[in-house]
Every structure is written in C-alpha cells, then in structure tokens.
Structure 1
C-alpha cells in the first residue's frame, strides 16, 4: 500500500474527503451557527474559508492518498482565523502557535499510518515557515486503556458539546452534521504522536507540539509510528465501531 501526502492547493479543494469539504464546525462563527436554521451550501462556506486563509496566510492543508484514493486530510491555520477556537475552557491558543483543527483518516485506511504521515507533513511545512509550535484542542471520551493501534483520530461518542452543532440543509444533513463528535481529534492520539497537554481539561484539553529545531519532532513522530505499526501487527485489524 503506497501512501503519499501533498499540500492542499486552491485548485485542489475538490480533493478533500467528503466530510472535510462540508464541515464548517471550526470555520463558522458559533453565534451565526446557533441563530441560523441551516446553511444552504456548507461546501461553498468551507471553500471560501480555505481560499481566504491560503491567499492571506499560505498553505493550510495536507491531503493523504493511498494508491490514488483520498485517504485523509489535515487542516491548520492561525487561531485568529478559527472562530470556534475561542470557546473552549482551555482557550486561548498560545500566541506563537498554529492551530490544528482537522486530522482525519478515511475508512478503510489505517488511522495510525495515515494520521502520522499527515502530522509529519504538517510539521515539515510549519518548520520550513519558522512556526514555533502546533496546538490542538483534543477530545477525551474513554480512559486511555486502548492500544495505540486501536485509537481513532476523531471521537464519535462525546455527549457534551461546545456550542451548538452546525446544521446543514439537504437529506444528508444528519450524516454530515458538524459537532464535536465528528470534527475534533482524539486527545490520546495527539499524545501518541508527541503532543503534550498544556491546558488540562477532562473533556477538551489543549495540547502542544514544539517545532523548534532542537525538538527532534521527526524522530518523535517516527518512533511513535513504529510503535503503532508494531502494535497493529499483533492484533487482528478492525475499525472501532464496526460490527
């Protein structure tokens, strides 16, 4: 299985995974989302946000492909461009950090492999640009007892919500509704790839990965990936939540 990761471009927005193209959980002002019954075109809203960030700030996404098929993506930007970033009990993001908002792997591709390759690509991009740190708001749903190979990037069981979910129009709205359950990154996974908690919370910790030249982030990520792949080799492959 051949995995490659490329930077998201203005001409390649249609290459994002389906949910990532429609998800506006991070990008829409929560007050607007709460007062609006629906968004007529969340894809337009998302593409407008991505275009603005790329034109004003630069690259803000990485897309993973496995054998030519879209396998996942990562999105990141200055926290000032992310309205929902101010709502968490562990806000605000540190002034020297870029915020990682999305890290997702598409079924049936391995979360661990795709997730780590996306993180490596994000970090490599930010190091080249002189960014000091990458931060993310994670979700905790279960005690950290699952093997690393069994952890998923996004949480699907959280009952507590940050603000109101973003409602979308159309028959697919129930399946694509944006909420913490579908749009945040598992905190345990972030810790597995080298992030450290800098603001504790039982549900929504804020985590940080230092990107300075002395941090050795590449070795940390590669070591974590080796551990995940070794653990996966000792278990029968399956996806959490599958029958």
Structure 2
C-alpha cells in the first residue's frame, strides 16, 4: 500500500534517509547561535510554526506502512540556513523547496521524483508563481546530504535563476506549466506504480553538523 501524507509534528520521527533526523535547514550556521534541544523537538516546533503561519511544510511517503522518504517546502523566512548560501533569495516570502530524501531501499526507484512532483503540486495550492531551491554543483565542497544536486533538479524541471559555481538557485516557474496540477497527480500515480513494493556564502560555509511516504491525504 502506498501513502503520501502531509508533514505534521507527530510524524517527525518518520523522517528517514541519510541525515535523518536532520535540522540542517531549520538551524543557523555553526558559528551562529546553536539549538541545544533534540533534533526531533526542533523539527516538531518548526513544522508547527510553519504550518500555523503558511501551511504544512512537506510530505512524508510510506510504502506498506513504513516511512520511505520525505520532501520539505517552506517560505524563505522560515529557513535560517539560507543565510549561509550566497544565492539565498532576498524576498522572505519566496517559496523554497528544501530537500527530497529517500531511504536507501527505495533509492533509484522513482520515489524522489514523486516527492519533487508532489512539492510542485502543493505549491500550486498556495497560488504562488514559482518554487525555488538552492542546489549544489559537483564543485561544492563538503556538500550536506540535504542539499539537492543541480542535475537532479534540472531533470525535474527546475532552471537556474541565479548562477553560482557551487550553489546556484534554481526556479520552477509554475505560471508556464498551465496543466502542472493535473499532470503532477497523474505522474505521481504512474511513478509510484513503477516503484517495487508499491501498489496502484558569505563567510560561513553552508554545511553544518546538526542532525535533525499513494493515497493523497490533505
């Protein structure tokens, strides 16, 4: 059975992948003021804050009831880590795709694409014109696992908005994709059907040491 649920504070423990639980995007750089609380507590509070101000900041994918991956989306004003990137947007209301993480057993089987498509679908519900993301090029040193690769983003339909040798900012212009909402719904179903086990900088380097799943339930 497949399931793609909205991210709420009570499912923060279900975030999986190479750096979960991870608070990379929710915390300031290393030389800033750190948060001594447990990652799960920091994430839970962040999800609650973003949900109250804007809406659920992502989705969690499950395969046969088990957490398989997640995607995070939030306005820039709720993403402290952006301050460490040279291509951070100047507008705090800019909607940012933060990451799309898939657990190892499902890597390379299309689930990340499903999560990226669901992020675009959810962005449309907020009537925004675009969805932006800071990606990493091969030249990026000590890239954090939660920073998506540029080639992955470009294959998903993102285009470079502000270039940079290591951390460019990319954008998906939702105004140009008139039928994206319907296409995303159909694509999610098609992609999931192919996944085995599923049924129908300024001075500071952006890296940090903090460590923070289809029925469409909205």
Task: Pick the TM interval, shorter chain.
Answer: 0.7 to 0.9
Q: Are 1:12 and 2:15 an aligned pair?
A: no
In structure 1, the residue matched to 2:26 is 27
- Give the Cα separation in 1 of the matches to 2:19 and 2:78: 17
Q: Are 1:191 and 2:154 an aligned pair?
A: yes
In structure 2, the residue matched to 1:87 is 84
Cα separation, partners in 2 of 1:51 and 1:38, compared to 1, 3 Å: closer
In structure 1, the residue matched to 2:166 is 203
Shift of 1:214: 4.3
- Give the structure, 1 or 2, with the largest relative contact order (CA under 8 Å, sep 6 or more): 2
Q: Are 1:42 and 2:39 an aligned pair?
A: yes
- So what's the TM-score if we normalise by structure 1? 0.67
Q: Which is richer in helix?
A: 1
| Pairwise CA RMSD | 2.9
Alpha-carbon displacement from aligned partner over 1:196-223 (angstroms, at most 9, x marks no partner): 111111211111011227444364894x
Where does structure 2 lack aligned partners over 5 or more consecutive residues? Answer: 195-218
After TM superposition, list the pairs within 5 Å mapping 1:90-129 onto structure 2: 90-92=87-89, 97-111=94-108, 113-129=110-126
- Give the Cα separation in 1 of the matches to 2:46 and 2:169: 23
Count of residue pairs brought into register by the alignment:
189
Shift of 1:127: 0.8
Where does structure 1 lack aligned partners over 5 or more consecutive residues? Answer: 143-157, 161-179, 230-243
- Give the Cα separation in 2 of the matches to 1:188 and 1:122: 17
